[in-house]
A and B are shown apart, each in its own frame.
Chain A
Amino acid sequence: MGNGTSIGKVRGLGSAHEGAHHWLVQRFTAVGNLVLMSWLAVSFLMLGDLTYSAVSNWLAQPISAVPMMLLVVSLFWHARLGLQVLIEDYIHNSGSKFALFAALNLSAIGGGAFSIFSVASLAFGVQT
């Protein structure tokens, strides 16, 4: 391990042991998205009518609320991984990168939590 060029600093250190995990989870969540988005598409077709009463009654049932929550988790996870790659590829300043990762994590977890809570409040019949 040298201390000169950028490649010299990392040569011989081996793999970071994190790339494969990201790669695999991107694919596992892709399968989740495929299955659950198919469910959502079929549900919309069977529902036909997307007005408030039709959709809220449908989504309040456990058989729809649970897959919707799972879809939210799968979509947000997959999107977080994809946007991470976007940031890694185009943002080369480590300060900006850190700020964007923080914003990405906050919005992915925040958006996911808000969505799941919304479905739960419909399912448990809490009306505001």
Chain B
Amino acid sequence: MNNRPLSPHLQIWRWGPHMLVSILHRVTGDGMALVGLALLVWWLGALASGPQAYELFYGLATTPFGYVVMIGLTWAFFTHLMSGLRHFVLDIGAGYELDINRFWSIGAPLVAIFLTSAVWSYVFLR
């Protein structure tokens, strides 16, 4: 009886990487939809409104808080991209073997962190 799977129950479950990657996919996607798109609208609107409006956007974006937001959005982008690519693989019916599924559940967010640090290392060090 010890090896039998637990039935899905609100209070009886064990934390796993598959749950983490699923939750991260939703959080990063909806986070970018709310924060990222607002900034995209602001950025394009500022560009269309002329140098003064753009200067305000640019000035705020390059404050320490601005960098935190931009690095956060970069992380959200790569995390959503990597788990999204994982979804494409799952959609064609591949990658459901327990060990492979677990491997990419852990791998996708780690690759995203690596890509985020690579991008910002390039920006800060060039």
Chain A contacts to B: CB under 8 angstroms: 27, 30, 34, 37, 50-53, 55-56, 59, 68, 72, 75-76, 79, 82-83, 86, 111, 114-115, 117-119, 121-122, 127-128
Contact = CB atoms under 8 A, between A and B. Distances in A.
B102 interface: no
Contacts of B88: 27, 30
B66 interface: no
Contact of A118 (B47, B55, B58): B47
How many residues of B sit at the interface, in one of the four size bands? 20 to 34
Contacts of A117: 48
Contacts, number: 62
21 contacts: A37-B77, A50-B58, A52-B47, A52-B55, A52-B58, A75-B37, A75-B40, A79-B33, A82-B30, A83-B34, A111-B38, A114-B45, A115-B40, A115-B44, A115-B45, A118-B45, A118-B47, A121-B48, A122-B47, A128-B48, A128-B49
B42 to A, nearest CB: 10
Interface of B: 26, 29-30, 32-34, 37-38, 40-41, 44-45, 47-51, 54-55, 58, 77, 81, 84, 88, 91
A115 B49 CA distance: 12
